[in-house]
Each structure stands twice: as structure tokens, then as C-alpha cells.
């Protein structure tokens, strides 16, 4: 059990326990049919309710103990990639929760109940968008094939509810790098579950095959998957006893790379080329994990000096971000304005330019820029998030609160937005809404008793507003019911 929970400091998300069913049509080369499909209608021991409970526990623990990266641009990009793929994967639950962890290692994960995420390091190591997508397609394939649930069926001697509880405990321990979930695990049964968490060669082959098919149907180049695998295998050789974390639960061999390459060759190359957006997001990650901002500036400047690179938008964008991080926002603004002339209205460029203007207290310019962009793209999350920041800087907390309220409706699982909404309501002196927002934040952070306290205080403060009091009382009843069911009190 200890080996599973504490293999390394970054292996906390490699418990890829998976849910869903698959029925993919479309391109099916003969070679793909030679590998038997392990999926189907099974996986009955892990019910959808149990999957949802596991996902909720894991997500709350992630929020509370792990460095979740809240970058609206990166989150928006990940969402767009996943939802380009999801229509080609038939899942029981398409209500997915996406998360990015602040870690430079290669990793991706999927958890029962629809949690899918990556380490930000995947942007560093996937040199092309096609390679990045290949990892996500592989994870969705594991999820859709219900590999974990099928392995549970092999453990027929275990009671389903007890087994699901132990699974949740192991996931929590592995994901959070702590003993938070160990109390849920019975020692004599932990080994059986540990074995289930390790994918078999057939599981991996099936996920490769189905992932390739997902990529082909979505219009991406399936050949990117063996290229990405080969790149990881080369890195594993260079690192000796410390291979990329992604390979710890996804064993990779030359024969598997070769097999995937042969299968990929049976598909068309795909109509989707790399998007500019991916390379902009990769530049953001490269700056974030550079040794210093000045090092990042130097790296991008050297790249731009190479013949033919002076017009490379991603390199120019990376330099602008690095300059801003190096307290040279005025220089960054000049580069970003030039990029927007080449790519009018590009949302990531607009948000980044507004961020640089905000750094220099150019509040009106930033606000006007963001408002114009929102008229073109109503409801865009990165634009709304940045505009809310600007409104707070302008000492307009009521306007910021309205934006944050919209964002909470769009993403009620985002604890950071609830926290910022509470801050805006404090500045607005709207005490009832301060407590309401703080209650939702505490609930997401696994503090239901604090959530209950804030809701009761909000009810007391809302004297005379019967409609608001009724809504708060209904929410309080939901919180109390959850506490009673889960024993969180």
C-alpha cells in the first residue's frame, strides 16, 4: 500500500481510475479490429452514485491540499480540447470537471465521476498540439472503456459499497500525497485494490487503439500518439531510474510504441493542424516554469533571433509574458499590440494585453478593451475574469461582484471565484452575499460546518427579505443533508 501512495513527490494524480462506456463509430481500420475490446456493458459493481461520491471526495481534497492552477486562459483551452474530443466518446456522464495542477511534470488523470485533468507540465513536454491531444484521447479512452470498474468485477468477494469506500480512500491518499484516505482502507483488502489500479497490457493496448480512433474522428493526426510515446520513452532512458511520472502507471515499451505507430498508419492524417492557441498556452507554461523571468526573456529573445522566427506569434507572445513577469510591462504592451494587429480580436491576446495594462494602472484602457471583446464574445470566461479584476482595481466592487456571480453560475465548482466574489461583496458592504459566497467556498474546501455557520449568519442578516431567506434556508437544508449522509460533521 505504501508503494502506491508514496512512490514519489509528483505521482499523486496517477491513480487513473476510470468510468464510462464506449460506442465509437466512424473510421475503423482492419488493424484496429485485431485487438479484442475489453469494454462493454459491465462495470456494475461501481454504480454511478458511487462514482459521483468518489469524484466529489477527490475534487474536494484536490482543492484543499494540492496546487490547483487557476489560469482562466489555460483552463479555457483545456476545456476546448476535451470538448472537441468528447462528442466522439459515448460516456454515461458527460458532465466533466476539468482541473490543471501546478506541476511541471508530465501527467494526466481521470477519476470516476468525470474528473479529467493534467499537470501544467504536459504543455511543456508536448511539443505540438497533436501530441497534447493524444494524451487526452488516451485518458478519455481509459475512462470510456471503464477499465477500473471492470477490474472491480474481478473482486467478487468484496461488498460493493465497502469496496467503493476503500477505492475512495486510496484515491485520496494518492492524489493528495497524505494519509487523508488511509483510514478508509482495510489492510488485507488494500493489496487487491492496488492491483486493480495498475493497468494491464491489454488495458493499455485498448486505450491506445480507442484513443487513436477518437483522435481520427475528431480530425487530429493519430500519428501524434506514437510520436509522444516515443518522446516519453527517450526521456525515460535519459532519466534512468526516474522516468516521467506518466509512465509509472502507463508502462511503455518499444513494442508498444511500434504497435501504436502501425495502428496510427491505418488512419488518415486528420484535417486539424496545430492551433495558434496551443502554442500561446505552451508559451505561458514555459514562462511560468522558467528558472526566472529574466531567463525566460533571454530564451525567447534568442529564439526570435533565429532566421525566419522574427514573426513567430507564439515566440513573440512568450517574450511579452516574460517581459511582464520581469516587471517590463511597457515593453510587453508594445509586443502585444503588434500581435493584435496581426490577429485582431484574439481573446488570449486581449486578456494578456489587458493584464499588462492593469499592471501599469491603465484601468480605463484595460476595461474598454475587455468590454469591446465581450461584446464580440459574450460570456467568455477569461474576458469576464480579467474584467472583474479590473473593476476591483477601479474600486467598482459592485460591478466586479456581478461578473463573479456570472462566473459562479458558469463554474460553481471553482473555489477561487467564490473567494473573489466574497471579497467583492465585502467591498460592496453586501454582508448577506458575503456569507453566502463564503459558505459555498467552505463547502468546496471540505469545511461543511463553516458553510453551515455562514448560511445561518446570512439568514439572520437577511431579515425582511423573505425571498432571499427562503433560498438560503433551502441551501442550508442541502448542506445539512450532505453532512448527515457523509458524516462530515
Between 251 and 86, the higher pLDDT residue: 86
The SS3 of residue 99 is strand
- Taking the domains of the chain in order of start, what are their residue ranges? 2-264
pLDDT score, position 33: 38
| Phi, psi angle pair for 115, to nearest 5° | -90, 125
Give the single-character DSSP code of 179: S
- Among the residue ranges 106-120, 237-251, 263-277, 388-402, the one predicted with the least confidence is 237-251
Q: Residues 469-479: what's their mean pLDDT?
A: 97
88 is in an annotated binding site: no
Banded pLDDT at 248 (limits 50, 70, 90): low
Between 208 and 247, the higher pLDDT residue: 208
Query: Is the model's pLDDT at 250 over the cut of 90?
Result: no
Q: Residue 109: in which H helix or E strand, if any?
A: strand 108-111
- Among the residue ranges 53-57, 202-206, 255-259, 428-432, the one predicted with the least confidence is 53-57
pLDDT score, position 126: 96
**Spatial distance between the Cα atoms of 249 and 367, rounded to a whole number of angstroms:** 46
pLDDT score, position 102: 94
Query: Is the model's pLDDT at 442 over the cut of 70?
Result: yes
Compute and round to an integer the Cα radius of gyration of the chain.
24
Kindly report whether the global pTM for this prediction surpasses the value 0.95.
Answer: no
**Spatial distance between the Cα atoms of 189 and 171, rounded to a whole number of angstroms:** 14
Enumerate residues 6+ apart whose C-beta is below 8 A from 389.
358, 400
Q: Residue 111: in which H helix or E strand, if any?
A: strand 108-111
Degrees to nearest 5, angle at CA 45 with 44 and 49 = 85
Cell of 127: 511539443
For residue range 300-338, what is the model confidence (pLDDT) as tens digits? 999 999 999 999 999 999 999 999 999 999 999 999 999
Query: Is the model's pLDDT at 198 over the cut of 80?
Result: no
Query: Is the model's pLDDT at 453 over the cut of 60?
Result: yes
The SS3 of residue 100 is strand
Percent helix / strand / coil, the chain, rounded to 5: 65, 5, 30
Catalytic residues: 139, 208
Enumerate residues 6+ apart whose C-beta is below 8 A from 130.
215, 220, 221, 223, 224, 227, 270, 272, 274
**Spatial distance between the Cα atoms of 269 and 259, rounded to a whole number of angstroms:** 17
Q: Give the number of other CB atoms < 10 A from CB of residue 488.
A: 15
Give the single-character DSSP code of 249: S
pLDDT score, position 162: 52
- Judge contact between 404 and 381, C-beta under 8 A: no
Q: Give the number of other CB atoms < 10 A from CB of residue 11.
A: 20
**Spatial distance between the Cα atoms of 370 and 344, rounded to a whole number of angstroms:** 13
In terms of Cβ atoms closer than 10 Å to its own Cβ (0-12, 13-18, 19+), residue 255 is: exposed
Q: Residues 400-417: what's their mean pLDDT?
A: 96
Q: Residues 202-215: what's their mean pLDDT?
A: 89
What pairs with residue 100 in β-bridges? Answer: 118
DSSP for 117-162, please give it: EEETHHHHH--SHHHHHHHHHHHHHHHHHTHHHHHHTT-TTS-HHH
| pLDDT > 90 in the chain, percent | 58
138 is in an annotated binding site: yes
| pLDDT > 70 in the chain, percent | 76
Cell 459592485: give the residue. Answer: 398
**DSSP β-ladder status, 115-119 and 108-111:** antiparallel
Banded pLDDT at 10 (limits 50, 70, 90): very low
| Phi, psi angle pair for 35, to nearest 5° | -100, 125
Cell 471579497: give the residue. Answer: 423
Query: Is the model's pLDDT at 243 over the cut of 90?
Result: no
254 is in an annotated binding site: no
End-to-end CA distance of the chain: 28
Q: Residue 110: in which H helix or E strand, if any?
A: strand 108-111
pLDDT score, position 178: 46
For residue range 74-89, what is the model confidence (pLDDT) as tens digits? 999 999 999 899 999 9
For residue range 111-156, what is the model confidence (pLDDT) as tens digits? 777 788 899 999 999 999 999 999 999 989 888 887 666 665 555 4
pLDDT score, position 177: 47
Taking all residues of the chain, what is their mean pLDDT, rounded to a whole number?
82
Cell of 271: 484535417
pLDDT score, position 373: 98
Axis-axis angle for helices 313-325, 276-288 (nearest 10): 30
For residue range 330-362, what is the model confidence (pLDDT) as tens digits? 999 999 999 999 999 999 999 999 999 999 999
For residue range 156-197, what is the model confidence (pLDDT) as tens digits? 444 444 555 555 555 555 554 444 444 444 443 444 444 544
**Spatial distance between the Cα atoms of 335 and 45, rounded to a whole number of angstroms:** 56
Amino acid at each position: 500500500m505504501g508503494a502506491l501512495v508514496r512512490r514519489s513527490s509528483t505521482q499523486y494524480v496517477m491513480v487513473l481510475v476510470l468510468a464510462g462506456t464506449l460506442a465509437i463509430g466512424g473510421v475503423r481500420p482492419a488493424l484496429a479490429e485485431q485487438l479484442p475490446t475489453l469494454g462493454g456493458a459491465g462495470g456494475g459493481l461501481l454504480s454511478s452514485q458511487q462514482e459521483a461520491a468518489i469524484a466529489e471526495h477527490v475534487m474536494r481534497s484536490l482543492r484543499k491540499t494540492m496546487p490547483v492552477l487557476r489560469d482562466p486562459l489555460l483552463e479555457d483551452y483545456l476545456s476546448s480540447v476535451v470538448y472537441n474530443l468528447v462528442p466522439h466518446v459515448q460516456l454515461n456522464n458527460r458532465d466533466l470537471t476539468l482541473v490543471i495542477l501546478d506541476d511541471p511534470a508530465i501527467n494526466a488523470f481521470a477519476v470516476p465521476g468525470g474528473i479529467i485533468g493534467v499537470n501544467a507540465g504536459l504543455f511543456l513536454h508536448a511539443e505540438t498540439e497533436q501530441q497534447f491531444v493524444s494524451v487526452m484521447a488516451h485518458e478519455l479512452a481509459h475512462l470510456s472503456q471503464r477499465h477500473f470498474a471492470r477490474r472491480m468485477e474481478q473482486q467478487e468477494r468484496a461488498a460493493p459499497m465497502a469496496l467503493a469506500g476503500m477505492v475512495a480512500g486510496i484515491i485520496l491518499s494518492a492524489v493528495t500525497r497524505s494519509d487523508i484516505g488511509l483510514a478508509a482502507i482495510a489492510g488485507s483488502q488494500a493489496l487487491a485494490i492496488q492491483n486493480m489500479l495498475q493497468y494491464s497490457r491489454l488495458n493499455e493496448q485498448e486505450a491506445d487503439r480507442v484513443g487513436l480512433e477518437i483522435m481520427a474522428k475528431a480530425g487530429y493526426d493519430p500519428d501524434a500518439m506514437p510520436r509522444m510515446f516515443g518522446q516519453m520513452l527517450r526521456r525515460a532512458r535519459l532519466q534512468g531510474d526516474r522516468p516521467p511520472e506518466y509512465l509509472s502507471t502507463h508502462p511503455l515499451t518499444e513494442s508498444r510504441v511500434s504497435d501504436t505507430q502501425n495502428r496510427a498508419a491505418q488512419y488518415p492524417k486528420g484535417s486539424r493542424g496545430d492551433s495558434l492557441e496551443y502554442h500561446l498556452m505552451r508559451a505561458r507554461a514555459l514562462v511560468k516554469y522558467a528558472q526566472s523571468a529574466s531567463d525566460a526573456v533571454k530564451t525567447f529573445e534568442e529564439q526570435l533571433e533565429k532566421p525566419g522566427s522574427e514573426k513567430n506569434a507564439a515566440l513573440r507572445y512568450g517574450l511579452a509574458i516574460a517581459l511582464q513577469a520581469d516587471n517590463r510591462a511597457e515593453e510587453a504592451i508594445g509586443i502585444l499590440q503588434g500581435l493584435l494587429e496581426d490577429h485582431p480580436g484574439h481573446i488570449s491576446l486581449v486578456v494578456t494585453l489587458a493584464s499588462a495594462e492593469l499592471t501599469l494602472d491603465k484601468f480605463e484602457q484595460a476595461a474598454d478593451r475587455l468590454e469591446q471583446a465581450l461584446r464580440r464574445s459574450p460570456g467568455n470566461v477569461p474576458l469576464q475574469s480579467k474584467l472583474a479584476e479590473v473593476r476591483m482595481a477601479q474600486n467598482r466592487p459592485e460591478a466586479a461582484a456581478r461578473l463573479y456571480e456570472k462566473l459562479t453560475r458558469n463554474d460553481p465548482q471553482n473555489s477561487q471565484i467564490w473567494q473573489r466574489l466574497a471579497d467583492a461583496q465585502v467591498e460592496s458592504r453586501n454582508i448577506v452575499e458575503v456569507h453566502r459566497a463564503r459558505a459555498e467556498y467552505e463547502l468546496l474546501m471540505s469545511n461543511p460546518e463553516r458553510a453551515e455557520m455562514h448560511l445561518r449568519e446570512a439568514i439572520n442578516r437577511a431579515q425582511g427579505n423573505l425571498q432571499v431567506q427562503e433560498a438560503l434556508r433551502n441551501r442550508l437544508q442541502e448542506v445539512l443533508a450532505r453532512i448527515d449522509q457523509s458524516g462530515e460533521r
